Amino acid sequence: MASYWHVIFFSLIGGLFSLIGGILLLSSRKVAHVLGEYATPLAAGALIAAVFLDLLKDGLEESAASTVLVGALVGILLFFYAERFLHWFHHHHQHEGASPDRSLIVIGDTLHNALDGVAIAAAFLVNVPTGIVTTIAIAAHEIPQEIGDFGLLLAKGMSRGKVLLVNVVSSLATTAMAILTFALGSAERLPLGMLLGLSAGFLLYIALSDIIPTIHETTPKNRLFDVRPLLVVVGVMIVAASIEVAHHFADV
């Protein structure tokens, strides 16, 4: 059974591990570019696998199918409007040439991290293996995301030290929201099936609307073979294997 220590430890990993890409960007833009290029398709596969092989599956075991599926639908719609009106995700703005100010970047990243915390806590409310797998998927997605955020803040004139400090503080929103969500869920004040559905909708929306279009845009169309589309499948396989391993050791 999951405890607060599980939630705190893994949400810190999920939040701080995501800073690896940004830290690499501060030391070597070339290395960070390569990491982001190949981590992005892995993240897409990891998120999709976590949604269909873990979150939705566990949600359907906890609640009626209608509750979980409505939760997923609401999650997709909610984050569509969040992206549309609040500009929480920045990849599309970069493609369009827009340049959001620093406060918007920081606020958007903090809110995004907080939602990651909700997803992590919802998973741990089911069991420890589900929480670990969800953390892995979220951390994989956050690495290329943070590279983009670090790059935008540097481009807006923020110093390297301040960029790192701001992102470390922002990443703590993951842990804060995870603790709050876990506390409410443990007290049976949250409908777990609906919460898992919302988390699944959130992660699925990120994978399908943000990451996969980026892969299509950055992969050469005139090349017969490119490894990056295959890495989506690799990401699925990694998370699928992680689910089997995590549940095996949890059941021992």
Give the structural domain span for 167.
4-217
139 domain-assigned: yes
CB 15 within 8 Å of CB 113: yes
pLDDT higher than 60, residue 91: no
pLDDT higher than 50, residue 252: no
Please state, in angstroms and rounded to a whole number, the distance separating the CA atoms of residues 237 and 33. 24
The tokens for 88 are 């929480």
Return the higher-pLDDT residue of 168 and 27.
168
> What's the total number of domains in the chain?
1
Report the pLDDT value the prediction gives residue 101, as an integer from 0 to 100.
Answer: 66
Comparing 97-101, 118-122, 162-166, 213-217, which segment has the lowest mean pLDDT?
A: 97-101
The predicted-structure confidence for 185-217, as pLDDT tens digits, reads as follows: 876 777 889 999 999 999 999 889 888 888 888
Burial 191-213 (b: 16+ CB within 10 A, else e): bbbbbbbbbbbbbbbbbebbbbe
222 domain-assigned: no
Report the pLDDT value the prediction gives residue 109, as an integer from 0 to 100.
Answer: 82
Most confident of 11-15, 43-47, 70-74, 217-221: 70-74
50 domain-assigned: yes
Instruction: Work out the pLDDT band at 100, boundaries 50, 70, 90.
Output: low
228 domain-assigned: no
74 domain-assigned: yes
Q: Provide the mean pLDDT of the chain.
A: 82
Q: In the block, which residue shows the tokens 């790059």?
A: 151
pLDDT higher than 50, residue 92: no
248 domain-assigned: no
Comparing 72-86, 99-113, 229-243, which segment has the lowest mean pLDDT?
A: 99-113
Question: Mean pLDDT throughout 7-36?
Answer: 78
120 domain-assigned: yes
